[in-house]
Structure 1
Amino acid sequence: MSTSPSPAAAERADASPVRIGALVPLSRPGWVEAGRHVLAGLELAAREVDEAGGIGGRPLELLVRDTAADPQRAAEAVEELAHLGVAALAGEYHSVVARAVAARADALGLPYLCSSAVLDALTEQPTPWVARLCPAQSHSWRVYADFLLGAGHRRIAVATQPSVYWAAGTRILRECLAPHGGTVVELDTGALSADAVCAELVRERATVLLLLAGSPEPSVPIVRAVRGDARLADVLIGAPAGQPEFAEWAALLGDDGAGVPFLRYLPERLGPLGARVEAALRERLGEAPSFVAFEGYDTVTVLAEVLRSQGADRAGIASAWPHVAVEGTRGTVRFSRTPGGSVWQWAWPPVQVVDRDPAAPGRLRVLHCGR
């Protein structure tokens, strides 16, 4: 009498790799530095999974694709990766790209764990296939608005570019500030030069300028212009999307890039796992790891745990999201359905408002914490 091996036993007998598709921006116009940090975290965690025995004895393989911040290119990569038999997708930094990835993953029945894209509406309708590690924009940007209100700011200007992500951020800020008498005026960086932005700040009597625009262009020239305008000496420059997190910001702006509060998703103090991973990421990157590197690491850590319990079955992986409880670098990751959310969400990672210390721009200061 013969019996079929269990799925777990069959997987141990199969030495072929378990594949994860890794989507990251590695070329312009994508935010290359962010993509490099996400990938460093993904690759470090994958290496550690293999060193610990892989997935039921099978090696874990990342199939990396460069999205270059292009939604169409990313959607085509999802199709390719699905054809190559990946068990799941991971990564991405740009929200508009992650939305395209999530839409194709949902249509193909392919699990996708989004690492670092915060736009609330990753999918038009609720989906069982997509989960997210980073906080939704409506959550983290409310923390930033609380920081502004706590510091006494009510007249806010935002330097914007056309994008669903920047438009969502502007709307969230306006909704949070309006009940407290705050106002938000939009300055179109496509129509205004850096000097014209300065003139508008004076005219509007704004006490804060938020950079809801890309880096280095047009954000860096705007910062230089505002810092060089004596009329705006008391204006706070902020960048909730995290532009000052990366070394390029400090390299381009020097002291002018300090004192610009931004959001990052780290606890005030890392635990033993986070401290170990920080050291390994620093060695891999040759610089201090950003929060997105930790997000990349946690993404593969979570997927590996799900793969160990479910195997490489796509439907099984998707069904496991609500049962996840995995210790990551920034706390225990659990997914739930948040009100109004369309994907499985870790609610919530730690949220901080930090800046580069004007007295020592290489050092980051924690200004405000939220959860």
Structure 2
Amino acid sequence: MSTSHSSSEAEWTGESSVKIGALVPLTRPGWVEAGRHLLAGLELAVHEVNEAGGIGGRPLELVVRDTAADPQRAAAAVDELARLGVTALAGEYHSVVARAAAARADALGLPFLCSSAVLDALTEQPTERVARLAPAQSHGWRIYADFLLSTGRSRVAVASEPSVYWASGARILRDHLAPHGGSVIELDMRALAPSDVCDELVDHRATALLLLVGHPEPAVSIVKSVRRDQRLAEIMMGAPAGQPEFPEWARLLGDDGAAIPFLRYLPERLSPLGARVEAALRERLAAAPSFVAFEGYDTVVVLADVLRSHGVDRARMAASWPSVAVEGTRGEIRFSRTPGISVWQWAWTPVQVVDRDPAEPDRFRILHAG
């Protein structure tokens, strides 16, 4: 059905493994680079758990399924993983895919710790079985809106595609900017070519353009069009969803990809644990790890702690989220009930607005923190 592999990375004899199902986008149209980083974090943590003796002497095993950014494929993968006897689910990057996986996991009574997806309404109804490490979209994108206001950009155009995630983001921005005299102009990329966007920006006298679109296309083509239009030399482009975080952005855009602020979920300085994990992830990825790799690592750290404390029973695991207190790479992780959020939420991981430095596009500058 889908790309799959298992990872335990240790030799064990006579002991059955404790299985965690991992949902990761590894093929297009999924955001493959994000998937690679997420999986690297998950696998590194599993390796370290097993090096330290596993779960009560049993090896921890990661059973991976590729979601390819397809909600139906993800729901089918949850069914399959449940049949294979996983104790819990981990992962997923795409919000709309994670929502489908969360609904199916909840229906099956399977605990799900979502690593990266930020959509506030991760489930339609409140559930005890699902928890999340990534900050809710309303939290992170409000911080991004505060950043826009601090730079004097209040006439904000958004180049958007149809998606619950993009629509939610545009609504959060509009609601947060309006009381400060700001406005959001939506440019429907179903009806506009990237070159048409420039004329729209001039007509609307926009001071910022946010890329609420897929990566690499049409995001890359829009950036190139705007950078080449002399009328738009003063406009700021932004990408709150984090497209510029990954090396592919710099490869495709070079200098044009710099100075495009985005959200990143890292502290200003990593703890000793974070620094050690950063070095190990860098070696694994042969590149600087993104915040998504840290999210993957922290996911397994939490699940391993829950498994050691509460055993492999799914119901007991699902009931354990409020008692979690685990040191992760980006701070102490605890889950709580947050107004408007239907799942157990870590409130909050550190949030930064960063961009690639125009003088050195491989270096990130912290512009704002929340």
TM-score for the superposition, normalised by structure 1 = 0.96
Partner of 1:192: 192
Gaps of 5+ in 2: 1-12
Partner of 2:9: none
How is 1:1-371 mapped onto 2 (pairs within 5 angstroms)? 15-370=15-370
Find the aligned partners of 1:14 and 1:124 in 2 and give their Cα distance: 42
Amino acid at match of 2:185: V
Contact 1:41 1:295 in 2 (8 A): yes
Gaps of 5+ in 1: 1-12
Contact 1:227 1:233 in 2 (8 A): yes
Find the aligned partners of 1:154 and 1:116 in 2 and give their Cα distance: 29
Find the aligned partners of 1:150 and 1:63 in 2 and give their Cα distance: 45
Deviation at 1:190, TM superposition (A): 1.4
Identity of aligned residues (%): 77
Find the aligned partners of 2:195 and 2:99 in 1 and give their Cα distance: 34
Find the aligned partners of 1:310 and 1:84 in 2 and give their Cα distance: 20
Find the aligned partners of 2:339 and 2:192 in 1 and give their Cα distance: 38
Amino acid at match of 2:198: C
2:90 partner SS: strand
Deviation at 1:89, TM superposition (A): 0.1
Q: Which runs of 4+ in 1 moved over 6 A?
A: none
- 1:313-358, Cα deviation, whole Å (9 max, x unpaired): 1011111100000000000000000001110000000000000000
Amino acid at match of 2:189: T
Deviation at 1:21, TM superposition (A): 0.1
Find the aligned partners of 1:61 and 1:313 in 2 and give their Cα distance: 16
Contact 1:26 1:35 in 2 (8 A): yes
1:199 partner SS: helix
Deviation at 1:76, TM superposition (A): 0.3
Find the aligned partners of 1:242 and 1:165 in 2 and give their Cα distance: 13
Amino acid at match of 1:368: H
Find the aligned partners of 2:166 and 2:116 in 1 and give their Cα distance: 16
Contact 1:14 1:58 in 2 (8 A): no
Find the aligned partners of 1:220 and 1:87 in 2 and give their Cα distance: 40
TM-score for the superposition, normalised by structure 2 = 0.96
Find the aligned partners of 1:335 and 1:217 in 2 and give their Cα distance: 36
Contact 1:354 1:366 in 2 (8 A): yes
- 1:36-62, Cα deviation, whole Å (9 max, x unpaired): 000000000000000000000000000
Amino acid at match of 1:50: N
1:190 partner SS: coil
Amino acid at match of 1:186: E
Amino acid at match of 2:30: G
2:162 partner SS: coil
Deviation at 1:14, TM superposition (A): 7.7
- 1:128-150, Cα deviation, whole Å (9 max, x unpaired): 10000000000000000000001
Amino acid at match of 1:212: L
Deviation at 1:194, TM superposition (A): 1.2
- 1:204-236, Cα deviation, whole Å (9 max, x unpaired): 000100000011100000000000000000000
Amino acid at match of 2:303: L
Find the aligned partners of 2:28 and 2:222 in 1 and give their Cα distance: 21
Find the aligned partners of 2:342 and 2:118 in 1 and give their Cα distance: 12
Amino acid at match of 1:310: H
Partner of 2:6: none
